[in-house]
Amino acid sequence: MSHEGRPAERLERGYTNAVLAAGAVPLVLPSLGPPDAEEVMSVLDGLLLSGGGDVAASWYGQVRAPEAYGVDTCRDAWEVALVRTARATGVPVLGVCRGAQVVNVAAGGTLVQHLPAITDHPHREYERDRELVHTVDVDPDSVLARVTGQRSFGVNSLHHQAIAEVGPSLRAVAWAPDGIIEAVESRRDHEPLLAVQWHPELLADQVPHGLLFTWLARAAADHRGAMASARAQS
């Protein structure tokens, strides 16, 4: 994004507040270059990908739709590199809204570029950002179901793009009433990766949304402990 015509980074405090409430310490990263991803991820215990503008359609082999906005190709390349590095090194990942889309694109999936073109269901309710706009149905045999303890619950909805074809290493685990994918997780056994289309940071004081950040904090602590143990044995 830009501020007064100059490139700028922006992160709503809901994310950092939710991470702190879960017992972890947030570190906000600027957009760097893909070659920096390995070094940066080597000092992190977990990765939270936030919302934001649309992912460039070129990442998944499409022409940009006229409704696309907020595209930042530098941020796209940086976050795709972070996701791929995190997955290669076992760092836990939680993707939120755009973050879920980045996770899917990094895994070789595609996106719906403008939901109103394919569904009349409300998905972009900005004025109700802290309200439950619709329900999601959760696969009972999923990490998401185990983390939340629920098979159906209400979510807010602030997006006009969504996951279309799921990346081969991921699987869809939650859906809106119109069938739009609302969450994905890894197909790989024991890989700590969750990605949701709604904004749990704005509902973090409610169950089950705060539990997503608790999951990330605990998974990050487990990863940190495993890395410390490996270093001690080397």
Which are the catalytic amino acids? 97, 199, 201
CA 113, 138, 169, 44 torsion-angle sign: positive
**SS3 per residue for 108-134:** CCCEECCHHHCCCCCCECHHHCCCCCE
90 torsion bin: left (phi>0), alpha (psi -120 to 50), beta (else): left
Q: Measured in whole angstroms, how far is the alpha carbon of residue 82 from the centre of its chain?
A: 12
Helix (H/G/I), strand (E/B), else coil: 34: helix
**C-alpha to C-alpha distance for 188 and 67, rounded to whole angstroms:** 34
Cβ–Cβ under 8 Å, residues 22 and 214: yes
**C-alpha to C-alpha distance for 147 and 153, rounded to whole angstroms:** 13
